[in-house]
Structure 1
Amino acid sequence: MTPELAIDTRGLTKQFDRQIAVNDVDLQVACGEVYGLIGPNGAGKTTLIRMLATAEEPTKGEIYINGEHLRRDSDNPTLKRHLGYLPDDFPLYDDLTVWDYLDYFARLYYLRQPRRRQRLYEVLELVQLGNKRNSLISTLSRGMKQRLSLARTIIHEPILLLLDEPVSGLDPIARMQFREIIKVLREAGMTILISSHVLSDLAELCTSVGIMELGYLVESASLKELYKRLSRQQIIIRSLGKLEALESELKNCSHVESWELDKQGDSLRVHFSGTPEDSAELLRSLVAVGIPLAEFHCTQEDLETIFLKLGHQQAS
């Protein structure tokens, strides 16, 4: 068993009656990674995370967490102390204060004084709720409640964090605050597996991603490798002149595969197969023939486009 893997599953399968929710999944996540789990509703993401968190028993297959075998016939107390699990529907106790809520969970994990008190201050500072420690949970905003849930999840200093749709329903500011906390935990060396439908957040946070479809893990790779293999290079070009003249020149470039008009209707999104030197040559040629350019910059298809593209491939 390789100790460098925080998560290693082999043939992991979960069946409910006749429905197979997770189908023969081999998942490897290296220690220190932030691994994003992507997929439509019903793809099996939550069931997979629940099995990793020991909240759901596999029908068959094996799970290793940091080299330790998760055994079905055992409570796995040592392994559970290494896990932090934040489900998408974990209840909060509205009639408790923030401090008493966290203190309750710290006691469940057998944190003793003075370390328990010190740890409560640490996590409240991390999730930016230090000034709310004496407030009733019922008075907190949704974003604050989600940050409090994260504080509860890391109170016992786990080495593997499992987050199921942690930013669901949060506004952009609350999502940004949550994202910054995850970055701090990543920099501290924690391994994090996170599922989300907000792919722009995952693209910013993750080192690797896995894509699930109908219970299968259809793709698992580093973000860098995924972009290199599946993301087409694009050039955004905006002209102050007529687009017809620009399109006429683009037809002369062998590296231009196709183009489309952007949503505003004043720029072209050009799919380009050449090198950076080739795109520089295209720019030179457009300027040389007098195309009045207002914008010319290279970009790549984002994670959402890659995900949709893979979905179409699986469906066809």
Structure 2
Amino acid sequence: MSSKVAVATYGLTKQFERQIAVSDLDLTIQTGEVYGLIGPNGAGKTTLIRMLATAEEPTVGEIYINGERLLFNQPSPHLKRLIGYLPDDFPLYDDLTVWDYLEYFARLYKLRNPHRTRRLHYVLDLVQLSHKRNSLIATLSRGMKQRLSLARTIIHEPILLLLDEPVSGLDPIARMQFREIIRSLQEAGMTILISSHVLSDLAELCTSIGIMELGFLVESAPLAELYDRLSRQQILISTLGTLEPLERHLKEHPGVRHAEVVTGQNTLRVNFDGDMEAAADLLRSLIQSGIPITGFNPTREDLETIFLKLGHQQAS
């Protein structure tokens, strides 16, 4: 990953009358990252994305795109061309065909032939809609319409993609298709900021995560660092015999913090302090003690658990 900064904000603030939607926000996104933005409704995510997309002017603060300051009091067409913005409510024109819709936006961005035609074919192939190029938009499924919206967002070859709740309302298959496209765009070198309430999708896609609460960016870090710092290791341990010998053994182990029975199974869920080597030592000690272990599955708390944990910390 490049060390170049794609997005930087300093003291970014947006106030609507008496309400502060984004407050004194400092954000840095490296080139080539997929940066996930999470937080409850009303946290300021959409307002932040709109400011980065030049659709909303900050009350106070500075925004830099690709190292150049974004100025709202003068035209910046060269900077705006670097940005692709997909809001959660962008309208489609149902009476146009897929090809005509994309060509319309390509012409708005002054793409000229033969490059324009090549670009249309490329983005249609990328979003898996080449077979629908002559279909009316009204006939597309919701997932296809969202992929078409993404194609429109990248038609002008931006280097920064801003996606606000792009998988909202999509079924699991449509979400999976959308994730595959995002991965392809990242592999091509695009920097992507994506907000979503589907945290499992972000956990699969993102290199870094930002968490917003009441307009503040309360956490911003690489995803791996968040897991290391905030995600407890859990181990599901199953046995053929009764649970009592297993429970007694676990109580004597210094790395075990808590153990609870998994309802309906001969299994304990164990909160464990230690790395994978320590987990292997625990398994070895269980077997040596003669406990008939049938399952030993180390896992880590997921992104949703980390988010809820941070929310409780902020509230307390």
Q: With the length of structure 1 as denominator, give the TM-score of the two structures.
A: 0.97
2:25 maps to what in 1? 25
Separation in structure 2 between the aligned mates of residue 308 and residue 266 of structure 1, nearest angstrom: 28
Segments of 5+ residues of structure 2 without an aligned counterpart are: none
2:293 maps to what in 1? 293
Q: Which moved more, 1:84-93 or 1:263-272?
A: 263-272
Q: How much does 1:216 deviate?
A: 0.1
**Displaced runs of 4 or more, over 6 A:** none
Aligned length: 315
Separation in structure 2 between the aligned mates of residue 220 and residue 266 of structure 1, nearest angstrom: 39
Q: Is 1:161 matched with 2:161?
A: yes
Q: How much does 1:265 deviate?
A: 4.1
Separation in structure 1 between the aligned mates of residue 89 and residue 263 of structure 2, nearest angstrom: 37
Distance 1:205 1:3, change over 3 A: closer
Distance 1:3 1:224, change over 3 A: closer
2:82 maps to what in 1? 82
* SS of aligned partner of 1:27: strand
Separation in structure 2 between the aligned mates of residue 30 and residue 225 of structure 1, nearest angstrom: 16
Q: How much does 1:292 deviate?
A: 1.8
Deviations 1:127-170 (A, max 9, x none): 00000000000000000000000000000000000000000000
Distance 1:168 1:281, change over 3 A: same
Counterparts of 1:147-296 in structure 2 under 5 Å?
147-262=147-262, 264-296=264-296
Counterparts of 1:2-13 in structure 2 under 5 Å?
4-13=4-13
2:133 maps to what in 1? 133
**Does the 8 A contact of 1:95 with 1:136 survive in 2?**
yes
2:119 maps to what in 1? 119
Counterparts of 1:296-315 in structure 2 under 5 Å?
296-315=296-315
Distance 1:266 1:41, change over 3 A: farther
* SS of aligned partner of 1:54: coil
Separation in structure 2 between the aligned mates of residue 310 and residue 166 of structure 1, nearest angstrom: 24
* SS of aligned partner of 2:163: strand
Q: How much does 1:199 deviate?
A: 0.7
**Does the 8 A contact of 1:238 with 1:266 survive in 2?**
yes
The residue identity in structure 1 corresponding to 2:250 is L
**Does the 8 A contact of 2:165 with 2:196 survive in 1?**
yes
**Does the 8 A contact of 2:97 with 2:135 survive in 1?**
yes
Separation in structure 1 between the aligned mates of residue 272 and residue 159 of structure 2, nearest angstrom: 43
Q: Which moved more, 1:211-220 or 1:287-296?
A: 287-296
* SS of aligned partner of 2:134: coil
**Does the 8 A contact of 1:3 with 1:67 survive in 2?**
no
Identity %: 74
Deviations 1:200-232 (A, max 9, x none): 111111100000000000000001111111111
Segments of 5+ residues of structure 1 without an aligned counterpart are: none
Deviations 1:182-206 (A, max 9, x none): 0000000000000001111111111
The residue identity in structure 1 corresponding to 2:10 is R
Deviations 1:85-110 (A, max 9, x none): 00001010000000000000000000
Separation in structure 2 between the aligned mates of residue 77 and residue 275 of structure 1, nearest angstrom: 51
The residue identity in structure 2 corresponding to 1:24 is D
The residue identity in structure 2 corresponding to 1:156 is H
**Does the 8 A contact of 1:24 with 1:216 survive in 2?**
yes
Separation in structure 1 between the aligned mates of residue 86 and residue 80 of structure 2, nearest angstrom: 13
Separation in structure 1 between the aligned mates of residue 163 and residue 266 of structure 2, nearest angstrom: 41
**Does the 8 A contact of 1:3 with 1:66 survive in 2?**
no
Separation in structure 1 between the aligned mates of residue 107 and residue 67 of structure 2, nearest angstrom: 27
Separation in structure 2 between the aligned mates of residue 73 and residue 117 of structure 1, nearest angstrom: 35
Deviations 1:107-133 (A, max 9, x none): 000000111111000000000000000
Separation in structure 2 between the aligned mates of residue 254 and residue 115 of structure 1, nearest angstrom: 65
Q: CA RMSD in A?
A: 1.3
**Does the 8 A contact of 1:238 with 1:295 survive in 2?**
yes
**Does the 8 A contact of 1:36 with 1:210 survive in 2?**
yes
Separation in structure 2 between the aligned mates of residue 217 and residue 175 of structure 1, nearest angstrom: 26
